[in-house]
Amino acid sequence: MAVEQVKMVKNILTGNDELAARNRDCFETAGVLAVNVMASPGAGKTSLIVKTIEELSGRARIGVIEGDIAGRIDTEKVLAAGAADAVQINTGGSCHLEANMIQQALNNLDLSALDIVFVENVGNLVCPTHWALGEQLKLCILSTPEGHDKPVKYPELFAASDVIVLSKMDLIDLVGFESDFFYESVRALNQAAPIFELSCRTGQGVARWIDWLVGMKTAVNGSAL
């Protein structure tokens, strides 16, 4: 028997990346801005989506793909807040969404009737990082009670994000969050991503986030809201 060494030098996740590229085509063809929302459980992913839906009410038609291990609590929340459409994915234990799950969800979402789609990933700062879904923007949310050291502990997600939201700013003085440490760590990982400090409870900083998002919708799709 002969033995042959074959060089591959191939990303392990190429299969997922190819499916993600097809999803991205679907979003782009429909002129939809797709945002992959990643954060720990409880950081405020659903709260930011709900707040954004409320703030853009009458201006943007927002769809949501909800990824959770089980249940449809968040889907009901975003629909109650005025989402134009929402699809629930239950991963049944998997710690992150994969491109094929989004491909299936897109069968149940009429993109022609939407402007922005938020894909709310499973709450986790590790696993979702390397799985492209077809989004044009990766959004990472960190809430102040989680602590300023998270970028050091979970560098890849902060390095990979296009935009970072520091949420629950109304609690910052209660939880000993050291902003200097947070900013210097994030900037070691990612010099380009804008960072928005906000609180969905008080509304502080939300307007800046909305303005930026609306600007991105125009920049990415060429069509303004």
Partner 1 sequence: MHEFGLMTQLLQAVEAKSREMGSRSVLAINLLIGDRASIVDDSLLYYFEMLTPGTLAEGAELNVRRVPSRFYCPNCDDKYTPTGADFRCPTCSQIGTITSEGSELLIESIMLAKEE
Q: How far apart are CA 72 and CA 64, in angstroms?
A: 12
Structure tokens at 173: 């003085």
Contact 203, 50 (CB under 8 A): no
For residues 183 and 220, which CB has a smaller minimum distance to partner 1 in the complex? 183
Q: How far apart are CA 181 and CA 152, in angstroms?
A: 10
Phi-psi region of 82 (alpha: psi -120 to 50; beta: other; left: phi over 0): left
For residues 6 and 173, which CB has a smaller minimum distance to partner 1 in the complex? 6
User: Within 56-96, where are the H helices?
Assistant: 73-81
For residues 107 and 191, which CB has a smaller minimum distance to partner 1 in the complex? 191
For residues 23 and 52, which CB has a smaller minimum distance to partner 1 in the complex? 23
Q: How far is the CB of 154 from partner 1 (least distance, A)?
A: 8
Using DSSP, state whether 134 is helix, strand or coil. coil
Q: How far is the CB of 58 from partner 1 (least distance, A)?
A: 39
Give the binding site for partner 1 (CB under 8 A): 1-16, 93-96, 98, 126-127, 129-131, 152, 155-156, 159, 181, 184-185, 187-191
Other CB atoms within 10 A of residue 180 CB: 8
Closest CA to 163 of 104, 223, 219: 219
Q: How far is the CB of 180 from partner 1 (least distance, A)?
A: 11
Q: How far is the CB of 40 from partner 1 (least distance, A)?
A: 14
Q: How far is the CB of 198 from partner 1 (least distance, A)?
A: 25
Q: Is the dihedral of CA 64, 69, 71, 77 positive or negative?
A: negative
For residues 58 and 93, which CB has a smaller minimum distance to partner 1 in the complex? 93
